[in-house]
Homo-oligomer: A and B are copies of this chain.
Amino acid sequence: MAQSDTVDRILDAAEELFAERGFSETSLRMITSKAKVNLAAVNYHFGSKNALIHAVFARFLTPFSATLENAFDELEARCDGEPPTLNQTLWALTESAVRMPQRNEKGISIFMRLLGLAYTQSQGHLRKFLEQEYSQPFSRFMRLLKEATPQLSAVDRYWRIQFMLGATAFTMSSSDALRDILQNKLGVETTVQEIAARLVPFLAAGMQAEDAMLVPPASKTSVA
Contacts and interface: CB of A to CB of B under 8 A. Distances in A.
Contacts of A173: 120
B199 A214 contact: no
A160 B202 contact: yes
Q: Tell me how many chains of this kind the complex includes.
A: 2
Contacts of A88: 216-219
Contact of A158 (B186, B213, B219): B186
A168 interface: yes
A106 B158 CA distance: 22
A216 B50 CA distance: 38
B206 A87 contact: no
Interface size class of A (residues with CB under 8 A): 35 or more
A214 B198 CA distance: 9
Contact of A202 (B21, B24, B116, B163): B163
Interface in A85-143: 85-88, 91-92, 95, 116-117, 119-122, 127
A195 B21 CA distance: 29
Given A202-B212, A212-B197, A213-B197, A87 B160 contact: no
Given A87-B220, A166-B169, A205-B208, A116 B120 contact: yes
Interface stretch (A39-47, A52-60, A174-182): A174-182
A170 interface: yes
Interface string A188-224: 1010010101111111111111111110111111110
Contacts of A178: 159, 162
Contact of A25 (B24, B200, B219): B24
Interface of A: 20-22, 24-25, 78, 85-88, 91-92, 95, 116-117, 119-122, 127, 154-156, 158-160, 162-171, 173-174, 177-178, 182, 185-186, 188, 190, 193, 195, 197-214, 216-223
Given A78-B218, A95-B216, A120-B173, 11 more contacts: A88-B216, A91-B216, A155-B190, A159-B178, A159-B198, A162-B171, A198-B213, A204-B221, A205-B205, A205-B209, A208-B222
10 contacts: A86-B220, A91-B216, A95-B216, A120-B170, A155-B182, A166-B167, A166-B168, A201-B210, A201-B213, A205-B206
